[in-house]
Amino acid sequence: MNAFQLLKEDHQKVSGIFQQLEPTTERAEKTRTELFARLKEELDVHARVEETIFYPAIKQEAETREIVLEGFEEHHVIKMLLKELDSMPVDTEQWTAKLKVLQENVEHHVEEEEGEMFQKARQVLSEDDINRLGAQMEEEKKRLKEQSRSAGA
């Protein structure tokens, strides 16, 4: 799978989890807790893969440098929101509001990535690079998810 396909599939998966979380109420503690755990894992793994494999591959090029630096900063904001949400009770209005802010940040990040960043990355990466990065990212995702599961067990 190429790098762009892999990242887009991650984006769709995260979007689906947000769609499941959105209609929940403060009373749906168990559902919220389970969905949030999945969301957090997906976002953590996705960010790690982008930050360690995809972003470094395109960061040095003039065309992509600025958008990559912005991507790192957007990840930072998303991680802070995830950490705050993780430490709050899911049955509060504040949690619901913060989740909405997280969703808006993630959606903005995805739009920029799939639009501007991917377009610019295609200018600096060969087809071989795109496929090689995709394979590396796929391997790292598997490794991180296994690591996460064994830590949770």
Q: Number of C-alpha atoms within 13 angstroms, CB side, residue 108?
A: 14
User: 3-state SS string over 108-137?
Assistant: HHHHHHHHHHHHHHHHHCCHHHHHHHHHHH
Q: What is the DSSP letter of 28?
A: -
Q: What is the mean pLDDT of the chain?
A: 95
CB 102 within 8 A of CB 78: yes
**Is the confidence at residue 152, as pLDDT, over 80?**
no
CB 103 within 8 A of CB 149: no
Q: Number of C-alpha atoms within 13 angstroms, CB side, residue 149?
A: 6
* Residue-wise pLDDT tens digits, 83-140: 999 999 999 999 999 999 999 999 999 999 999 999 999 999 999 999 999 999 999 9
Label residue 153 by pLDDT band (50, 70, 90): low
- The single residue listed with the structure tokens 């795109």 is 130
**pLDDT score for 151:** 79
Q: Cβ atoms within 10 A of the Cβ of 73, count?
A: 11
pTM for the predicted model, two decimal places: 0.93
Residue span of the structural domain in which 24 resides: 3-152
Q: How many domains does the chain fold into?
A: 1
Q: How far from 110 is each of 30, 64, 65, 141, 146, CA to CA, in Å? A: 28, 16, 17, 18, 25
**pLDDT score for 149:** 81
Tokens of 120: 């610019």
Residue of 73, 81, 11, 3 lying closest to 46 (CA atoms): 11
Tell me the CATH number at 74: 1.20.120.520
